[in-house]
Amino acid sequence: MILTLDIGNSNIVVSGIRNFKTIFSGRIKTDKNYSEEDIASHIDFIFKLNKVNADDFKGAVVSSVVPCVTEKTAFAAEKLIGKKAYIVGKDIDFGIDIKMDNPDKVGEDMLVDAVAALYEYEPPMLIFDLGTASTCSVIDKNGSYIASIIAPGASISLKALTECTAKLPKIKLDKPGSILAKNTEDSMRSGIIYGNAAMIDGICDRVFDELGYEARIIATGGIGGLITPYCRHEIVYEPDLLTKGLSVLWEKANNNN
C-alpha cells in the first residue's frame, strides 16, 4: 500500500492506495502552526481508526499547495512508516508537457489531477477540481497542459455571502430544490449550486469555442459530487482523482530508481 498526502488549503487528505484504488482516507486540518510531531500524531490516529499499521506501506508521496507545511508533512510520514516520502515537484517530475507562461507556478494539485486523468482517459479533456478554489485544467489533443482557470470555490462564496451581509444566515450546502426558491435558505442553496453548475457549463462552452473542438469533462473535489449533477454537460465525476495521480507518480518515481 502507498501512503498519499494531499495538502490543500483547508485539509490534508491522508489516504492508503493499493493498485490505484483507495483503501482508506481521512482528513487533518491544514494548520501552519502544526509541528512535525503534531502532523505525525494525526496521521497515526487515522491509521488506528482504519486499523492499518505503519509497516503496511511501501512508501509515501506528498502533493502540496501550502509550501510551509510540505516538508513537515513529508518528514512526519517518513518517521511513521520508515520509508521515503517523495514530494511531487521536488523528487518527482510530472511527465507532462506544460505549456504555461510559468510552468513552475501551476498548482501541484492541478498537475497531479492531470496525471491521473491522462493515465485513465484519452485527451483532450477539461478537469475541474471543486474544493476551496474551483479550478479547471485544459489538456489539449496532444496531452499537453495548455491553460488553467481559477475561481472562488462554492464554500468560499457561501462564507463570503454570510459574512458580508447582515441578514443572510449560515446554511449547510445541500441538494437544492427548484431553482425558483421560495425562502431565503433555499434561495442561497439555489444560487450557490445552480450558479456553480452554470459556471462550469459556461466555462466548458467557451473553452470548446476557443479550442475549436469539444473534450471530455472530468470533475473531482469534495463538493464536486454535489454540483456536477446540476450541470448540463456530461461530466465524469472522479472523487479520488488526485490520490490516483499521486500513486501513479509514486510508481513512476520508483520504477525510475
Question: CA-to-CA distance for 35 and 41, rounded, in angstroms?
Answer: 10
Question: CA-to-CA distance for 249 and 87, rounded, in angstroms?
Answer: 10
Burial 154-167 (b: 16+ CB within 10 A, else e): bbbebeeeeeeeee
CA atoms within 13 A on the CB side of 109: 26
Q: Are 221 and 10 in contact (CB under 8 A)?
A: no
Question: CA-to-CA distance for 217 and 214, rounded, in angstroms?
Answer: 9
List 6, 109, 113, 129, catalytic entry: 109
33 Cα distance to chain centroid: 23
Question: CA-to-CA distance for 244 and 141, rounded, in angstroms?
Answer: 22
Q: Of the candidates 117, 118, 146, which has an alpha carbon nearest to the alpha carbon of residue 210?
A: 146
Neighbouring-strand partners of residue 139? 125, 145
Catalogue the long-range contacts made by 45-51 (C-beta closer than 8 Å, 24 or more residues apart). Answer: 46/14, 47/80, 50/16, 50/23, 50/24, 50/26
Q: Of the candidates 125, 111, 153, which has an alpha carbon nearest to the alpha carbon of residue 215?
A: 125
Give the N- to C-terminal CA distance of the chain in Å, as an integer.
18
Reply yes or no on whether 56 is catalytic: no
Residues identified as active-site: 109
